[in-house]
Structure 1
Amino acid sequence: MTATKYLSGFIAFLVAGFLLVSLTACGGQSEKMDGSMDMPKTIEEASKQYDELMKQENEIFSKNQELWEKVFLVSSKDMTMIEDNKNYGDFLLKVIEEAKDQFSDDELKLLKAEAEKVRDIENKLIKLEEKFPELAMMRKDAGMSASDSSMNMQMFPEFEGKDLKGNTVNSKDLFSNNKFTVVNFWFTTCSPCVGELNSLETLNKDFEKMDGELIGVNSFTLGGSEKSIMEANEVLDKKGATFRNVYFDENSEAGKFANGVYAYPTTYVVDSKGNIVGDPIVGVLTEKAQKDKLMRLIDQAMS
């Protein structure tokens, strides 16, 4: 799977997964959304409007897909997490500003203008979710149900690599020898990533009892840099984390996939056939909601 294919399939998750849900009560029947759009009165009208807005947002990304791919690849090492309660358009503008030296003046102008459009769309989506909270649940459920379809099933890219102790690791054997494999992407200077290593160690011990395994992929070690491997091992040792961490050629399909991870930590669940199950989990697994989602995906991988 190339990074471009990964991005196109992942955009909908990005924009849907981090919408701010406000607890503020909505107003009366005459309420309007930003722009001049009337606030829908029924869930059917709201759902239709919500889908149309999501379509508009996805079109913004697909229209200049290669340029947006560059944004996410540039941001992956510099932005650890999308901030809580943050409009996704504001997040994009922040990423673009911090990476502005990577773009030409014309590219920068285009990206900022498109990100502002995303921010406006997000504000409308937020207002819809405030009045119709079930829209957010429908969006999450859609992500889960989509993973049940073989048409949408994605394979984790095959790789030949090594663990951080120097042992050869083959992805085909890795996945087939486990009923499920939890793949956690992190990097050495990511505070949330390092902070959860102890918890991941505990999880891995639980997974072993279920004939599963948790493995780490430290993005700094891709390509086999001895210095990066040494630093990663030092962090793992300090945190008492003994679960396997692997690396592979960053120019391989798996390497491109790893470099497409836009926020850290990010976790995937893979079944014994190498299929990615459901959507990735962005954020630390110590949060109850994240851990609950992880266990649902594991159940799905084992079914």
Structure 2
Amino acid sequence: MRVVAVLAATLLLAGCSSDPLAEQYTEGSNKGYIAGDGSVTEIPAAERGEAISFSGTTEGGEEISSADFAGDVLVVNFWYAACAPCRAEAPDLQELNAEFEGNGAQFIGVNVYDQPDTALSFNDSYGITYPSIMDVQDGAVKLAFTGTVPPKAVPTTIVLDKEGRVSARILGQLKDASILGTLIRDAIDE
């Protein structure tokens, strides 16, 4: 009887809390993605964990790993082509990529749903010049981030510092490119 009472109380309290991501999942809108709220999480340098290590194959068939970006700030964007917020933020990401290319930061996408041809078509449509790892089969890149700042929504953009540690995360669509630009500059200046 006591177990039933504890379970009932737990369920009652759980019902009182609000989790926007869970609400989107259960609303049944069939939009095909869970959108983040655009919230920004910054992690002070002294509180960052270990470097994130990942590897995979790009949409062009190249093997790529986090080690290829050692010494630079790395911006990692989780996306897929049918995701409306991903399409909306693509021009801003490409503009920032062009701004920082050769200036201490590099960009890489992590496609969580599509096949390579779809990703290449997206790149052509939106003028994307940075590569994306195709993470559809095993989700290994997404899993590499899970212990630190999981990419709970698509899109999610994560900034890794020069040592490969997570310095910031934007959960959901990039609504103001200047915010990501500032996060990148701060990581470069460290």
In the superposition, the TM-score normalised over structure 2's length comes to: 0.70
Alignment of 1:23-102 (within 5 A): 88-89=18-19, 92-98=22-28
- Determine the structure 2 residue equivalent to 1:282: 171
CA apart distance, 1:236? 1.4
CA distance in 1, matches of 2:187, 2:159: 7
CA apart distance, 1:164? 1.2
1:299 aligns with 2:185: yes
Work out the percentage of aligned pairs sharing the same amino acid. Answer: 26
> Match of 1:298, as an amino acid?
I
1:183 aligns with 2:86: no
CA distance in 2, matches of 1:209, 1:159: 22
CA contact (8 A) 1:197 1:236 kept: no
Q: 1:265 to 1:156 in 2, by over 3 A?
A: farther
Alignment of 1:138-157 (within 5 A): 144=42, 146-149=43-46, 152-155=47-50, 157=52
CA apart distance, 1:198? 2.2
Contiguous gaps of at least 5 residues in structure 2:
1-9, 12-16, 30-39
- Determine the structure 2 residue equivalent to 1:171: 66
Of Structure 1 and Structure 2, the greater strand share is in: 2
CA distance in 2, matches of 1:97, 1:263: 15
CA contact (8 A) 2:75 2:159 kept: yes
In the superposition, the TM-score normalised over structure 1's length comes to: 0.46
- Determine the structure 1 residue equivalent to 2:33: none
CA apart distance, 1:251? 5.2
CA distance in 2, matches of 1:181, 1:271: 7
CA apart distance, 1:88? 4.2
Q: 1:156 to 1:216 in 2, by over 3 A?
A: farther
CA apart distance, 1:207? 0.8
- Which one of the candidate residues 136, 148, 155 is aligned to 1:265? 155
CA apart distance, 1:156? 5.2
Considering only CA atoms, is the larger Rg found in Structure 1 or Structure 2?
A: 1
Alignment of 1:12-27 (within 5 A): none
CA distance in 1, matches of 2:20, 2:104: 42
Q: 1:187 to 1:155 in 2, by over 3 A?
A: farther
CA apart distance, 1:191? 0.8
CA contact (8 A) 2:85 2:173 kept: yes
Q: 1:160 to 1:301 in 2, by over 3 A?
A: same
CA apart distance, 1:172? 1.3
CA distance in 1, matches of 2:71, 2:62: 16
User: Greater shift after overlay, 255-264 or 185-194?
Assistant: 255-264
CA apart distance, 1:200? 1.7
- Which one of the candidate residues 115, 137, 160 is aligned to 2:55? 160
Of Structure 1 and Structure 2, the greater helix share is in: 1
Count of residues in correspondence between the two structures: 162
CA contact (8 A) 2:52 2:166 kept: no
CA distance in 2, matches of 1:94, 1:196: 20
Secondary structure of 2:107's match? strand
CA distance in 2, matches of 1:184, 1:203: 12
Contiguous gaps of at least 5 residues in structure 1:
1-62, 65-86, 100-139, 222-227
CA apart distance, 1:281? 0.7
CA contact (8 A) 1:160 1:170 kept: yes
- Determine the structure 2 residue equivalent to 1:225: none
CA apart distance, 1:147? 2.4
Over aligned residues, Cα RMSD in angstroms? 3.1
CA contact (8 A) 2:77 2:110 kept: yes
Higher relative contact order (CA 8 A, sep 6+): 2
- Which one of the candidate residues 75, 87, 109 is aligned to 1:194? 87
CA distance in 2, matches of 1:283, 1:184: 10
- Determine the structure 2 residue equivalent to 1:205: 98
CA apart distance, 1:166? 1.0
Q: 1:90 to 1:165 in 2, by over 3 A?
A: closer
